[in-house]
Every structure is written in C-alpha cells, then in structure tokens.
Amino acid sequence: MLFSEDPQKIIEYLGDESNAFKAQSEKVNRIYFPKNENELIAIVREANEKNTLVTISGGGTGITGSRVPMSGGWVISMEKMLTSVSRDSEEIIFQGLAGTIKFGLDRPSNIAHLPPGISLSELERALPKGLIYPPDPTEKSAFLGGTVATNATGARCFYYGPTRSWVVGLSVVLANGDVLTIRRGETFADKEGLLNFTSESEKKYSLQIPNYQMPDVKNAAGLYSRPGMDLIDLFIGSEGILGIISEVSVKLIPSQKEPVSILSFFGLETDALGCVDILRDMKDRGVLAIEYFDRNALDFIRTEFQELKPELDAAILLEIDAESMDLLSDVSGLLARFNESEDRCATSTSDRRDLKEFRHSLPDSVNAYLKQHESYKIGTDFVVPVDKFPNMMNKYRETGEKFKSRFPRPGTHYVMFGHIGDCHIHFNFITANDEERACAMELYLELARASIALGGTISGEHGVGKKTLPVDGKAMPYLELMYGVHGIAEIAQVKRVLDPKMILNIGNMGVN
C-alpha cells in the first residue's frame, strides 16, 4: 500500500486554495494513497483501531480548510482512486494525466459509476462523445468525490441544479471500515426523523436527522436535513465527517449544441440588475447561467483587459441554449431595452474559452493579489431568497463603502461578482495589511448575520469546513452562526453513530 512519511511530501497536503489554513507538519505522521476501496478500508480500520485522526484530501481546490489536517494524524489522499468497482456495465478505460481511469457506464439509463479521484476535467474528456455530466463547478481540477462531499455548484447550476441533483448512488467507507452502498429512492427518514439502514456487513444503523430548518435557497452549509429525506442526501455535502466516498454513480444527459455565451456591459448597475431580474424568469426557456461583475471587479482586472472602457459600471455573462433562436432573439432585445453599452457574443469553442477566461480572471487576480500581500481570502459565499436579494446587495454596498472610508488608500477595497442567477454573489474584501483584515472580519460577520436574517445561507457552494468567525473575542465555528450550538450538537450526534471514535475530518462543520 502506497504511503509517504517524507516531510517534503507531507507539506503538499497542509493547506488549500484559501491560504487561510495551514496545518503543522510535525503533527501529520503519514500520507496514504489508496488505489481502490479495499486499500481504503484497510487504512481506515487501522486508524480506527489506533484511535488515529484521519483527514480526507481531494484535489486541494477548496477554500474552507476542509481537507487541511489541523488536528494532525493521517491524511488519506484520494488522487490514486481512479478505478470504480467492477460491475455488469460497459467498462470505459481512459488514459488521463493522473493515470489510467476505469469506470462503468450503463448505456440504457446513462448512469456512470465513477471513482472519487477523477477530476471534473478528466471526467469531461473520458465520457463517450454525446454524453455530459451537467453540474458545472467552477474549478475543473476538483475531484468528483470532493464535489459530492461539498455539494458543489457553478454557473450552469442555475439551470441544472447542484451536484446533489445528479447523484443517484454512493459507496461510502465508514470509520470502522464498514461499507454502505446507497441508491437514491431506497431509504427514507420516517415520521420521527429516523434513518434506518444496513451496511454491506449486515450491521444495522439508526440515526436521528438534525432538527434545524434549512433555508429554502441554494445551500451547502451543514448536513442535509428535510422531513422524509433520502439517505443519500445525508452524505452529499457532508464534508467527509460521516464517511469516505469510494464510488459515485451519476446521471448523464445527451450533449446538445454548445451554448451561446454573451458578455454584456452596462453603463449603469441598475440597468444590469433590472435585466437580471427578467433573465431569471427565462430559465425554463434555456438561460443556463447568469454571472455578474460590479464596477470594482471590472476595475480590478482592467490592467489585464485594457479594452474595458472606464465608464462601464457592471457586466453580466450569460450562457443560453443555442438550440432556441427565439430565446436568443428575445435576450438580445432585452439587453438593448436595458441600455446595454456593448457585448461580446461567443458561438465558437475558442470564443467561449475567451469568455470563460474573462470570468475566471477575477478570482484568480484576487487570489494572486492576496498571496502577494501575504493575506488570505475574506470573501462571502452567501445566498438569499430572490425577493430579499436587493436588500442584500444594498448591505454589500454599504459594507464595502464603510470599509473603504475607514482605510482611504489607492486601489480597490472590495469586489462583487458571481452567480447572480441564484442570488449568490461573492463579496470579496481586498485587504492590504493586518489592520484591514481584522476590520474585514468584523464586517464579514455583519454580512453573514444579514444573510441569515434575510432567510439565506452562509454557504452556497463551498461548504463551511473549519472556518471560524471572531465573536466576543472567541473563535466561533462558522456553522454555529447559522444553526446555533444545538445545531452543531445535532450534527455531532449523527457523526457519533457512524464514527463513534470521532476520527474522520475532525473540525469540519465545527465538530470536534
């Protein structure tokens, strides 16, 4: 079984993309690289017997510290898990950058049985021509297992829904080495909120789902809990605290003509936002994605895109079903009605790539700036109901201007961008020193409380991981802000049923 105790190798697994979490190398004893479920089971059983903490590591693309082994112990990297369990289905073999990938495909149902270590970009390349996996998480180097563990979303999830909507089966290795094989539609919570199920070894489990009420918006905060819920949804978005995903079965759909992408610029933000309000109602006609950039965001990337005119106040990036010419015509008319200043329309693969690069240039530029200033990302992941979205936007602007007035200096103080179709805007503080970061964290807390008060969530796509917020001089688990101490205790109660020794991904969701 492949593992490493080399300190130089261990260093590679001590952080994530946020630059906010850094584990101590001396606390991490070993990195394991299982190649299949049997090896994974053996590692977990040994860890359980020795009461050794285990942290699961995906592609390292997260920004919440979920994969960071802050408490030490062992790390299990899923990067070699590239082969799914053999079954009666067509076998697909693909030579990817990470190695040979093998998985099963049921052609009649278009269901793929996939290994957790395959990246989204490799999955896209490995699927037979004519089939696609619809969720569109932004970071294509993310592992499939990690996107399931966080219920990841992206731009096209406005139309297609989150990862959860496409997962129909899971194999999960529990902390004692037991295996659960879960199929959507087979096991549901009863009237008392109990989930009763049996493992592959015939061991019976029974757990009480959390009693908190989840917001009725796009949400990736906490364990999923709804009356009569499906067992599979408990594990989707569970951030590795309940078990380790060893196989994922997903629905595929026939691919259609590549969508038309339109990047539209506006001289007034009010025009851009008014246009978005109507575009949301056109989703069922084939509006796949609606992304947004405020003036500060455009200013921040202006050196990279010098053709951007200084008078531009906002931009929206659309993806539209290319099969509907009527829809394209109506959208063009709508953009003109809301005084669009200019646009760029992409119908070819290369043009679409250029617009995606424009979209990704902003978070990339923000991350580069923060690393240059030895800082870390202080950015929101909030979602609120559509009728409350104008209130949240006003709160964002007020907060940004408050921050700017407190620290007068050249340069950008904050940017707003993201998945406006889902009322899911990322507000990023651009901080330059420790004093600014301390202030930004206080203002971030105000914004989080505002989102919750408006019926929203503190995490729309990234999960909560090991994030904390300073409250009354103490570090409060991020999720506690939303569900309270009792909510965290309910999550811990679920975890203890499946992980009695509390060894898996300790610290995620505030559970220790």
CATH number of 290's domain:
3.30.70.2190
Q: How far apart are CA 256 and CA 137, in angstroms?
A: 19
| Coil, strand or helix at 469 | strand
Residue type for 169, please? G
- Examine residue 116 and state whether it is found in any structural domain, yes or no: yes
Cα angle 504-506-510, degrees, rounded to a multiple of 5: 135
Q: Are residues 180 and 231 in the same domain?
A: yes
Q: Are residues 299 and 226 in the same domain?
A: no
Q: Are residues 227 and 182 in the same domain?
A: yes
Q: What is the pLDDT of residue 289?
A: 94
- Examine residue 364 and state whether it is found in any structural domain, yes or no: no
Q: How far apart are CA 452 and CA 447, in angstroms?
A: 9
pTM, entire model: 0.94
Number of domains in the chain: 2
Q: Are residues 131 and 243 in the same domain?
A: yes
- Examine residue 352 and state whether it is found in any structural domain, yes or no: no
Residue type for 55, please? T
- Examine residue 21 and state whether it is found in any structural domain, yes or no: no
Task: Choose the final residue of a domain: 254, 271, 295.
Answer: 254
Q: Are residues 278 and 138 in the same domain?
A: no
Residue type for 316, please? I
Q: Are residues 232 and 270 in the same domain?
A: no
Q: Are residues 245 and 293 in the same domain?
A: no
- Examine residue 29 and state whether it is found in any structural domain, yes or no: no
- Examine residue 193 and state whether it is found in any structural domain, yes or no: yes
Q: What are phi and psi for residue 130, nearest 5 degrees?
A: 100, -5
Furthest C-alpha separation in the chain:
67
CB 295 within 8 A of CB 268: no
Residue type for 285, please? R
| Coil, strand or helix at 425 | strand
Q: Are residues 109 and 243 in the same domain?
A: yes
Q: What is the pLDDT of residue 213?
A: 94
Query: What residues contact residue 424 under an 8 Å CB cut-off, 6+ apart?
Result: 218, 381, 382, 383, 418, 460, 461
Task: Choose the final residue of a domain: 317, 346, 375.
Answer: 346
Residue range(s) defining the domain that contains residue 125: 90-254
Q: What is the pLDDT of residue 258?
A: 84
User: What's the number of CA atoms in the CB half-sphere (13 Å) around residue 509?
Assistant: 27
Q: Are residues 232 and 306 in the same domain?
A: no
Q: How far apart are CA 239 and CA 220, in angstroms?
A: 10
Radius of gyration, CA atoms only, the chain: 23
Task: Choose the final residue of a domain: 189, 222, 254.
Answer: 254
In the chain (512 residues long), the average pLDDT of successive 10-residue segments reads: 94 89 94 97 98 96 94 97 85 93 94 96 94 88 96 91 96 98 98 97 97 95 97 98 98 89 95 97 95 94 84 94 86 95 83 79 80 80 97 98 95 94 95 92 96 97 94 92 97 98 97 94
DSSP state of 13: G
Q: Are residues 306 and 231 in the same domain?
A: no
Q: Where are the beta strands (DSSP E) in 7-120?
A: 28-32, 54-57, 73-77, 90-96, 99-106, 111-114
Structure tokens at 311: 């008078």
Q: Are residues 218 and 289 in the same domain?
A: no
Q: What is the pLDDT of residue 86?
A: 64
- Examine residue 3 and state whether it is found in any structural domain, yes or no: no
Q: Which helix (H) or strand (E) holds 75?
A: strand 73-77
- Examine residue 216 and state whether it is found in any structural domain, yes or no: yes
Q: Are residues 240 and 274 in the same domain?
A: no
Q: What are phi and psi for residue 84, nearest 5 degrees?
A: -85, 165
Give the pairing of strands 3-4 and 28-32.
antiparallel
Taking each helix axis from N to C terminus, what angle separates 434-453 and 389-406, rounded to the nearest 10 degrees?
160
